[in-house]
Amino acid sequence: MARRGKKKGRPVSGWIVLDKPYKMGSTDAVSKIKWLFGAQKAGHAGTLDPLASGLLPIALGDATKTVPYVMDGVKVYRFTITWGEERTTDDLEGSVTKTSDKRPTREEIEALLSTYTGVIMQVPPTFSAIKIDGERAYDLAREGAEVEIAPREVEILRLDIVDVPDVDRVVMEVECGKGTYVRSLARDMGRDLGCYGYISDLRRTEVYPFTEDHMVALDTLVEAANEAADEEERFAILDQYLLGTEAAMEGIPEVPLHEDAAQRVRMGNPVIVRGRNAPIEAPEAWASVRGRLLAIGVIEQGMFKPRRVFSA
């Protein structure tokens, strides 16, 4: 029987909240971070288009197991809509398909905001990663195929005007749920206002539980790595920028454990949830030891039952 090869990289775990540069793809950003940290595994929690900048949560090692908790988090984007054109990609990259000389007033834009707040139906952009009969919509669109994407339900928690720098542009901020396309917002608002519109600048500033305060620039990490005398020093410097794997569990009940109970959980056994205000039931919870994520599971009848155990 052939032996399994040793995994390449080191078993580092945690989150890097990257300030993704403009024009860099999310996959390229993950590859760069994985290489810098010498990590065995890496993945991101929510794609950002190359023409978008800002907050890209990247999980290393065991933190990749917590990616779904961040993927489902509320997101905040700041974006600029340029009026007067509709484009194939609904952003700067596409070719112009429609034009208009009309420009909306601030009052007209404000009057439309309530229409786009709450649970709404939205058609994703033709150039998107949505799958149609097993193929990506953007691949079909590039081949010249007629692409029809069914509308889907998304939630817009907040949509505000930040600035109106001139008659051709408006700067806005949106707080939204999973699956929302900001490019679709610009396209649809432009149509409703009778002037057309597309995204000319897009920046993500939050993916719950991560905010701008957690972000680190790629240049900062590269410069820090380059200053190291050797690989050991490089990793010691870079690891200071890591957030713990447990950072993804914000908002989910925590069950702090002493070492004896933690050992039981490591073996896959349930333990009693102790504490005056400890929950009796919870569909999701996480156990910690010394503040680090040990296991994700459920609480039933006052017992924490592990479903996935980590290496804490």
* Residue 44 and residue 95 share a domain: no
Assigned domain for 153 exists: yes
pLDDT at 259: 95
Please indicate, yes or no, whether residues 183 and 217 belong to a single structural domain of this protein.
no
Do 164 and 60 have their domain in common?
no
Residues 184 and 194 in one domain: yes
Residues 162 and 86 in one domain: yes
pLDDT at 1: 46
Q: Are residues 131 and 182 in the same domain?
A: yes
| CATH code, domain with 112 | 3.30.2350.10
Domain identity same for 107 and 220? no
Does some domain include residue 7?
A: no
| Residue 130: predicted pLDDT | 65
Residue 296, domain extent: 252-309
Residues of the chain with pLDDT under 70: 1-6, 127-147, 312
Among 193, 226, 245, where does a domain finish? 245
Same domain, residue pair 83 and 188: yes
Structure tokens at 242: 């890591």
Residue 288 lies in a domain: yes
What is residue 143's predicted lDDT score, i.e. its pLDDT? 56
Q: Is the pTM of this model over 0.85?
A: yes
The pLDDT of residue 276 is 78
Beta bridge partners of 15: 59, 243
Do residue 195 and residue 128 come from a single domain? Answer: yes
Domain count, the chain: 3
pLDDT (tens digit, 9 = 90+) per residue, 193-230? Answer: 999 999 999 999 999 999 999 999 999 999 999 999 99
Question: Are 120 and 231 in the same domain?
Answer: no
Which pLDDT score, from 0 to 100, does residue 254 have?
A: 94
User: Which positions are annotated as active-site residues?
Assistant: 49
Res 248: pLDDT? 97
* Residues 279, 263 share a domain: yes
Same domain, 143 and 237: no
CATH number of the structural domain spanning residue 274: 2.30.130.10
